[in-house]
Amino acid sequence: MKSKNIYFLGIGGIGMSALAQYFLQRGDAVCGYDLTPSPVTDMLRQKGAQIHFDGDVSKIPSTLDFVVYTPAVPKDFVEYQYFVDKGIPMYKRSQVLGHITDELRTLAVAGTHGKTTTTSMIAHLLYPEQPLAAFIGGISKNLNDNYVCSPNPDTAVVEADEFDRSFLTLHPEVAVITSMDADHLDIYRDVEDLRGAFRQFAAQTTRTVLVHEAVAEFVTLPNKKTYGSGESCDYRAYNIDCQQEISCFDLHTPAREIVGLQLPAHGLYNIWNATAAVAAVLEAFPALSDDYIRRKISTFAGVKRRFDYIVRQSDFVYIDDYAHHPNEMRSFITAVRGIYPGKEICGVFQPHLYTRTRDFADEFAAALNLLDRVILLPIYPAREKPIEGITSEYLLSKVSVADKRVLQKTELFPYLRQHRPDVLLTIGAGDIDRLVLPLSEL
């Protein structure tokens, strides 16, 4: 196979970086641009990628076969316009992922939340025993990466992203739909438009669509199977105990009962993620034994920034989570409360996107009201321009917790050193992850 020269516009993104690793592993020449250096870009550079951060078109190689870009890059960005003017073939990340996975048996996980953890669980359940390529929207702690690829994979495990309708480039053999909450209303007209995209994704699935019981009514296909904890579910978790550090449950499947599962993760939502993961794996590989499933579930290490314990001491606990939708935040905070009853819980939340903050301000406030102390950082804009009146101060005005404030990042550390809580949470999908290491040393 002839080596190609591939440019990634936004190479440091979690989805883009997995694709970049795929082409690096094939022996292609990979280069690209990102806004700022990060641990992800450092890793890609170590693997051979050439990356710059200043949007200087003179640093773009003169010979390129094609460009992969993320929709988060503005169309008026200088490098994007350079490629348009030069007539160099440009493909969205989702188009490239669709092309790769069309050659493989594909297990895809979609949903407005839960998809990263479920995708990571599926990858862990199958790797390294099955020849696999996995593209994950977060860093799996078992893999220490968001990507893994066997020498000759015959199966793909992919996170199917609903943003920009990206998941409609996929045609999986087995699909999971974890949730369909209103989100990305800058892309979708309303929640029904979003559900329509999920239905289209489900219709493109060639074998089995596994749908969480809470959203099962929105998918009506003959190849649909349901999962959850309800009596009518095809895959049903029961005898659930998720109040301790290890969540225990038994699993009913259409073929058999699998008892004695022990998952090192917290919260009912992770029981459902595990149920979905086991269901997807058994739909594709029904011969896997109960002992194999038990062993794999018991050794799942989690995903970075998903209920991620940073500090666990008798007098101070610090947990970091990527939650950026109100329902995710509610589930996360509720799970923490169940583990640490009576403890003072302080949450530091960085809202992500002006449109999401505007569209769900009341729901965010309701989730934040589950905390004892609320700290908001300024809104992380990502791809968006400011919206007049939509600020963290506006969101804070809707929060009823008495102990609340908006702080700049530079103000956060002095404040928390003076007022360290029993339990500290950092929450959000922006660049709040850059604060995790310094905060761990409070």
- Tens digit of each residue's pLDDT (9 = 90 or more) over 341-374: 999 999 999 999 999 999 999 999 999 999 999 9
Q: What is the mean pLDDT of residues 81-99?
A: 96
**Whether residues 294 and 317 fall in one domain:** no
Host domain of residue 399: 308-439
Element (H, E) at 222: none
Residue 331 pLDDT greater than 70, yes or no: yes
**Whether residues 171 and 262 fall in one domain:** yes
pLDDT at 243: 73
Residue 2 pLDDT greater than 80, yes or no: no
Nearest alpha-carbon partner for 320 in 337, 341, 303: 303
Domain boundary among 91, 116, 151: 91
CA distance 100 to 85: 27
On whether the CB atoms of residues 80 and 74 are closer than 8 A, the answer is: yes
Domain boundary among 298, 327, 358: 298
Residue 440 pLDDT greater than 80, yes or no: yes
Percent above pLDDT 70 for the chain: 99
**CATH code (residue 227):** 3.40.1190.10
Is position 97 within any domain? no
- pLDDT band at 171, cuts 50/70/90? very high
Is position 96 within any domain? no
What pTM, to 2 d.p., does this model score?
0.89
Domain boundary among 280, 298, 316: 298
- Tens digit of each residue's pLDDT (9 = 90 or more) over 106-161: 999 999 889 999 999 999 999 999 999 999 999 999 999 999 999 999 999 999 99
CA distance 435 to 247: 29
**CATH code (residue 385):** 3.90.190.20
On whether the CB atoms of residues 160 and 189 are closer than 8 A, the answer is: no
Mean pLDDT score of the chain? 95
**Whether residues 106 and 222 fall in one domain:** yes
CA distance 352 to 359: 12
- Tens digit of each residue's pLDDT (9 = 90 or more) over 265-317: 988 999 999 999 999 999 999 999 999 999 999 999 999 989 999 999 999 99
Look up residue 215 and give its DSSP letter.
Answer: G
Is position 390 within any domain? yes
**Whether residues 81 and 109 fall in one domain:** no
**Whether residues 267 and 137 fall in one domain:** yes
**Whether residues 227 and 368 fall in one domain:** no
**Whether residues 33 and 172 fall in one domain:** no
pLDDT at 1: 43
Is position 167 within any domain? yes
Tokens of 73: 């890059």
Strand 247-252 with 235-241, pairing: antiparallel
pLDDT at 228: 98
ω into residue 128 within 30 of 0, thus cis?
yes
**Whether residues 286 and 335 fall in one domain:** no
Strand 145-149 with 247-252, pairing: unpaired
**Whether residues 61 and 177 fall in one domain:** no
**Whether residues 227 and 132 fall in one domain:** yes
**CATH code (residue 41):** 3.40.50.720
Is position 154 within any domain? yes
Specify the number of domains making up the chain: 3
**Whether residues 347 and 425 fall in one domain:** yes
pLDDT at 185: 65
**Whether residues 263 and 408 fall in one domain:** no
Residue with the bigger pLDDT between 83 and 305: it is: 83
